[in-house]
Structure formats: C-alpha cells, structure tokens
Amino acid sequence: MRVINHLLFTTLLLAFSGRVVAQDGILISCADSPKDAVLTLPAPLSHWGGVYCTKYGHAVAAKERWIWSFPGAFAPVHLPAQMVRKNPKEVGNTAYFKQISLEPLVGNAADDAATRINETLGTRSDSPVANAYRLTLQNQDGKSHVVLFVQTIDEVKEGKGLWGLWCNESCKDGMPFMLLNYEGVGK
C-alpha cells in the first residue's frame, strides 16, 4: 500500500502543487460535474480542505492558508478521485467523488487512530486526543480513500494543526501527513 500510494503521490505531485496549479491551468470549472458529484466537504474538514476540479479529475486538498504535507518530504498531499498508480489522464469532471463521509471518532476508536499515526511516525504523544475523525472518499467507480485525522489537546492549546494517516480500509498501514495551519500568518 505504501509503495502504491507513494507512486500516486509522486505522479500527481506536480499536477497539484499550490500556486502552480492555477498558473499551469490545472484547475477547471466544476460546472460540468455529474449531478451525483460531491463538491463540498463536511465540517470540520471544510475548514482545512476543499474539493478542487482539475483536468485530472476532482481532488481533495488543503484549503488556502493550510498546508497538507508529508513529514520530511515537504510534498503536498492531495486525495485524487482518479485513483491510478501512474500517468493520470486528463479526464476532467468524469473522475469525481460520489460520496464523502467524515465520522467523528471517540473513546477507544480515537485513541486507536492516534496510536496508528504515532506508530507510523515512530513517535509517542503523552497528550490525550482532542479530536479524531475517519474520512472516506468514494469515487465514481466505488474505489475509496480512507484517512484518519487526529489532533491532541496540546495541539489545540498551541494552535497547531493536526495529523492525518492516508490508509487502506483497515488502516493497519498507511502514510502519515501533517496539516499545518497558517491562517494567522500574514493577516
């Protein structure tokens, strides 16, 4: 799973790179999206990210003043509806999300999500979980992305972002990424 996701990330990295996206004409209008395309994210995910329509299909990615990045790689994270391992095609609005669900995790489920992220990162946090969620994005072909999001009480107090784990359905393995909040910068 990790190798497949890495190939997908690398392939789509240039196609979805912040300001370059607009300059290179990657973004397209969502107006021609199919009627069953979901174009908005549920709260609180809508605070950190958005659905973007691109030449390569729809993608969920960081909202303005937020950065989603792999630790150490400084590579942006995007969750594309066109789930290919390499060479994405210009499919426009025909690759889209038909279902987006964000489930709050509490108790043992929240602690388990935090443990999975910490184990994947090789870290340990003594701070209890403040917020945890499981995101499932299903595309037009029924294929899914799953992401766990976790924020500790210390991260909330310090005004920091949160962590995500892009994983398979069971989330036994995955790729961690950070969601960094720059909303207060430059205002």
pLDDT above 90 covers a percentage of the chain that reads 68
Say how far apart CA 166 and CA 177 lie, in whole Å.
Answer: 8
Contact 34, 140 (CB under 8 A): yes
Contacts of residues 41-49 at CB distance under 8 Å and 24 or more positions apart, as own/partner, are: 41/100, 41/102, 42/100, 42/101, 42/102, 44/131, 44/133, 45/102, 45/133, 45/135, 45/149, 48/161, 48/162, 48/179, 48/181
| pLDDT tens track for 32-89 | 999 999 999 999 999 999 999 999 999 999 999 999 999 888 789 999 999 988 899 9
Residue 18 confidence (pLDDT) above 50: no
Query: Which pLDDT value is given to residue 162?
Result: 93
Domain boundaries of the chain, sorted by first residue: 2-180
Query: Which pLDDT value is given to residue 169?
Result: 87
Average pLDDT, the chain: 86
Query: Which pLDDT value is given to residue 6?
Result: 40
| pLDDT tens track for 105-130 | 999 999 999 999 999 988 888 889 99
Reported confidence tier of residue 184, pLDDT bands at 50, 70, 90: low
Reported confidence tier of residue 181, pLDDT bands at 50, 70, 90: confident
Say how far apart CA 89 and CA 54 lie, in whole Å.
Answer: 11
Residue 42, C-beta contacts closer than 8 angstroms, at least 6 positions apart: 100, 101, 102
Residue 24 confidence (pLDDT) above 70: no
Name the one residue in this structure whose structure tokens are 């107090």.
157
Query: Which pLDDT value is given to residue 75?
Result: 86
